[in-house]
A and B are shown apart, each in its own frame.
Chain A
Amino acid sequence: MSYHNPPTPPRKSATFDDHTLAEIRRAAATGIYDIRGGGTKRKVPHFDDLLFLGASISRYPLEGYREKCETSVVLGTRFARKPIELKIPITIAGMSFGALSGNAKEALGRGATLAGTSTTTGDGGMTDEERGHSQVLVYQYLPSRYGMNPRDLRRADAIEIVVGQGAKPGGGGMLLGQKISDRVAEMRTLPKGIDQRSACRHPDWTGPDDLEIKILELREITDWEKPIYVKVGGARPYYDTALAVKAGADVVVLDGVQGGTAATQDVFIEHVGMPTLACIRPAVQALQDLGLHRKVQLIISGGIRSGADVAKALALGADAVSIGTAALVAIGDNDPKWEEEYRALGTTAGAYDDWHEGRDPAGITTQDPELAARLDPVVAGRRLANYLKVMTLEAQTIARACGKNRLHNLEPEDLCALTMEAAAMAKVPLAGTDWYPGKGGF
């Protein structure tokens, strides 16, 4: 009698899943790593793993519309003669003209200005449109120094020295030839159409002692007027924060692994950097150890999407947050209304990340004049302002529920964690317990 195995459905490997197999084939076919935009797509412990407790018998809440909940924040109070005052603790992160179209940059400036907050230049220098439409503009000082000049330094409201980004701590920028238009090439002093790799280290300083002297120079050039931020990718947040402070920063910007990028190797985006959630407490601890929490301000970025995220970041000790990807989505990035065109590019709305190719149907991550013209900067600016308002209202709703008349009065005690990982990273108790990993020695 012969024996037949009952048939089993085909089984795919968890290790060699479809995406992994496709990537192996892609690498074999092209011989070059995958480059893309956006942030890490893997799931990492995040603000979703925290909940607010709200008010109870021992804490009374504030009335929604009648009792004020202050949202403003002042950045750069340590050394700068002219600190920055923002109405809301949500800023627009640095994204370069070059990576983004002129219209997109203008829209970000308009939206930020309507909402009473700041926007930031990027790797590629400052454009007149951007300066003109941004009431408060932070000027990035990057390793490439493209377009860097003292005139723009003086017409900026703050200076952000970029040491790293969460999407690629230790990596430089990339802008591929398709996006190096005449104007972009001229601003960067580069030949048109080349695949441009920005430096990953600053050309004229290395290490915290040099950084201190660099900050002195920038302060002297700008007569100690402007707040100086130092932006680092999430890597060693305790020490990076302490060293930035030692070097003389007014503000530390800390960008976790979820942070977006215009174009980077996928392997870098997915495998280098610390989750945003894991960065905040060590950075706050460093500031507290130095007696400078709230004196040197901390801005957190990387995966901020909603007022709840804002409230959670602030509760853990940040002074403000910064958004990149969410701001682009608000002005129209990956909008399903372009689905047909996304399909033609071999992707779908919500997954489009070949920003380096400059063929963005939404006209945002492109230098193609026809595509760029699709984005109306006035309408898009209004959308961004709406979104920023909603985030602020959401954060206020939570703060009032926790009995706080200022967003900045939120505290870790207002939170609980849903997972052991989040409890360990945020140092707030696992829901239903009074314990988090590391507390009490185990």
Chain B
Amino acid sequence: MPVFDLSATPLRALNSALHGLEQGTNDTRFEVVNPRGHHAVAVGIDSPVSVEVHGSVGYYCAGMNDGATVTVHGSAGPGVAENMMSGTVIVEGDASQYAGATGRGGLLVIKGNAASRCGISMKGIDIVVHGSIGHMSAFMGQSGHLVVCGDAGEALGDSLYEAKLFVRGSVKSLGADCIEKPMKPKHLEKLARLLEKAGVTGVQPEEFRRYGSARKLYNFHIDNADAY
């Protein structure tokens, strides 16, 4: 198993080793030690390898991930798993702002808390946060699921499109055009599957509330001018 010590090896060596891996290669498990808050760790991976990062990372860890499983045994800086296409990213600690921003697919699991703008502009990614999330989360969320086992900060789901939000705890306030919606059996089923995939135990789907778009801002209308 290749091990990259980022206190001695440049970031470039790690990322180039992770790109363009031949199909059927034996090196499918990578380990990164001493990440020391490096930015852009394990970005742009396009094959189903697994990467274990031992320590905390800076901005954009696992950015644009397409198929890999990246686990951060520590906390992650802003934009972890930004624009993920597919695969799984797990943060054992907390995540900073914009976790999972613009993600298109795959699963992002944050075992601690996530800061503001979690899931901003999400476009199909599933995000499960074991703890709580900060303000303006899922801003302009287009598609995908955001599951929060704790609480959500102000203006959740502002200007939301079709992303589905599930929060177990309190929501400080809802953003423009975001409303609570009834939880239907299909939502409970989806939620149960996401909780299981994200390793959340002792929590039932029925404990969550669902939020989504009121779709009132989808077309310009003069009576909505205050919201624009």
B211 at the interface (CB under 8 A from A): no
Main secondary structure of the interface of B (DSSP, over half): loop
Tell me whether A204 and B79 are in contact (CB under 8 A).
Answer: yes
Tell me whether B219 and A204 are in contact (CB under 8 A).
Answer: no
Tell me whether B46 and A217 are in contact (CB under 8 A).
Answer: no
Tell me whether B11 and A220 are in contact (CB under 8 A).
Answer: yes
A145-B83, A150-B66, A204-B120 known; A191 vs B60 contact (CB < 8 Å): no
A199-B121, A214-B60 known; A32 vs B222 contact (CB < 8 Å): yes
Interface hit among B23-31, B48-56, B98-106, B181-189: B98-106
Of B15, B60, B78, B219, the most chain A CB neighbours within 10 A belong to: B60
Cβ contact of A189, chosen from B58, B59, B64, B123, cutoff 8 A = B123
Q: Which residues of A contact B222 (CB under 8 A)?
A: 30-32
A365 to chain B, nearest CB (A): 19
Tell me whether B44 and A195 are in contact (CB under 8 A).
Answer: no
A221 to chain B, nearest CB (A): 3
A203 at the interface (CB under 8 A from B): yes
Q: How far apart sit A199 and B102, CA to CA, in the bound complex (Å)?
A: 12
Q: Which residues of A contact B161 (CB under 8 A)?
A: 190-191, 194
B205 at the interface (CB under 8 A from A): no
Binding site for B on A (CB under 8 A): 30-32, 144-145, 148-151, 153, 176-177, 188-191, 193-195, 197, 199, 203-205, 210, 213-214, 216-217, 220-224
Q: How far apart sit A151 and B67, CA to CA, in the bound complex (Å)?
A: 13
Q: Which residues of B contact A220 (CB under 8 A)?
A: 11-12, 15, 40, 43-44
Tell me whether B43 and A213 are in contact (CB under 8 A).
Answer: no
Nearest A-chain residue to B60, judged by Cβ: A217
Nearest 7 pairs between A and B by C-beta?
A221-B44, A31-B222, A204-B79, A204-B98, A194-B218, A204-B101, A217-B40
A32-B222, A204-B101, A220-B40 known; A153 vs B64 contact (CB < 8 Å): yes
Tell me whether B16 and A223 are in contact (CB under 8 A).
Answer: yes
Q: Which residues of A contact B58 (CB under 8 A)?
A: 213
A393 to chain B, nearest CB (A): 43
Tell me whether A203 and B123 are in contact (CB under 8 A).
Answer: no
Cβ contact of B59, chosen from A32, A149, A210, cutoff 8 A = A210
A210 to chain B, nearest CB (A): 7
Of A189, A199, A205, A210, the most chain B CB neighbours within 10 A belong to: A189
Q: How far apart sit A193 and B161, CA to CA, in the bound complex (Å)?
A: 13
**Given A204-B79, A221-B63: 14 more A-B contacts, CB < 8 Å:** A31-B222, A145-B83, A149-B83, A149-B85, A149-B104, A151-B46, A189-B104, A189-B142, A199-B140, A204-B120, A216-B39, A217-B40, A217-B60, A221-B64
Q: Binary interface profile of B, 210-228, with partner A (CB < 8 Å = 1, else 0)? A: 0000000011101001000
